[in-house]
A and B are shown apart, each in its own frame.
Chain A
Amino acid sequence: MHEWSLACELVRQAETEARRRNALRVHAVKASVGVLTGVVPELLQRAYEMARQGTCLEEAPLEIEVEAIRARCPRCGREVTLHSPALVCPDCSALGLEVLGGDGIFLASLELEVAETAGGNHV
């Protein structure tokens, strides 16, 4: 399953980022999965739970948000939202829609425990 490779990359990037920010703990990980990637959220979730073993993410649950496809219709010019990967305009049935979003997979955010900077204000 390619979900396994993606989970490994997700863990790798999350660890790198947590370390870079001197996080003391990672509370949660959020990923965003576009409908056009064909990635199955349940499989990604399961792969993540294996891939995070022995890392600083062991206590950090993964939340997956599914991103619909955004596309522009070449005929009627409308911007449409699609929840399945068939690229057909729901309004005029035109083909060959231009994809604007929902075709990627991202490490969306991390919730981190970080140290307060000594006595100072922070932003």
Chain B
Amino acid sequence: MCETCGCGLPEEAKNHAHEHDHDPGRTHREEAVLYRNLLAANEAQARENRAHLMEHGILAVNLMSSPGTGKTSLIEAVTASLSDQLRVGVIEGDLATDRDAERIRALGLPVWQITTGSTCHLDAAMVHEALHHLPLESIDLLFVENVGNLVCPGLYDLGCHLNGVLLSVTEGDDKVAKYPVIFKYAQFFCITKSDLLPYVSFDAAKPQREARILKGDLKTFSLSAKSREGMGSFLNYLLAERAALTA
């Protein structure tokens, strides 16, 4: 603290403007008002990723959900239907099971596994690094399977063009209200495992309504990767978005 002027006092420190002679060697307190965005570095990297993907004409789709909602199954189902129209690639970030990348590789798709260690979300730098390991010139549609977690991925823009939240009918229809932050960057919302609707008490209208409260322009889908019901409109959505990207 500055003994001469007592400027360590918080009130004075806030408006530290005074004139007096100071001895060299003396020190005093001052408050530096900064308001630096802690997500700025991630947001800058995300913008770079988006531009880079755009140059390659790649539509990137970030999938976010709890573990076991059906992210990997949805990627498999989309690939099975679109493989003659779009070349699919995958960045795997979910470590809930380490078999995901192998499931994708078994389909003959280019895949890069991010080893997130103990972190709870992917960030734009991890996606940038992963892009170096993929044959971008032979990918049209890139899925990024995020870490199975309904909270943390919502804060981190990855630079994908589409960000989707998935919720399975077995998870309960109250999840949207409980996890609103995950919808921050979302453009679409999928209710998955709709083939199980007859066996569970799940009011599909409720989470869809609540999701639109959070995000007025959210596209919503209800589908099953298993029975393929509802897949058609989701596939059309992806095709239209990809066409718009390269138009």
Contact = CB atoms under 8 A, between A and B. Distances in A.
A32 B35 contact: yes
Contacts of B154: 38
B17 A118 contact: no
Contacts, number: 130
Contact of B26 (A10, A31, A107, A115): A115
Interface in B106-137: 119-121, 123
Interface in B169-188: 177, 180-181, 184
The SS class assigned to the A binding surface is mixed
A86 B41 CA distance: 27
Interface in B16-58: 16-17, 19-39, 41
A104 B37 contact: yes
B243 interface: no
A13 interface: yes
B152 A2 contact: yes
Contacts of A96: 212-213, 215-217
A79 B16 CA distance: 34
A39 B120 CA distance: 13
Contact of A114 (B28, B151, B213): B28
A13 B38 contact: yes
Nearest to B214: A87
B33 A117 contact: no
Contacts of B39: 9, 104-105
A119 B22 contact: yes
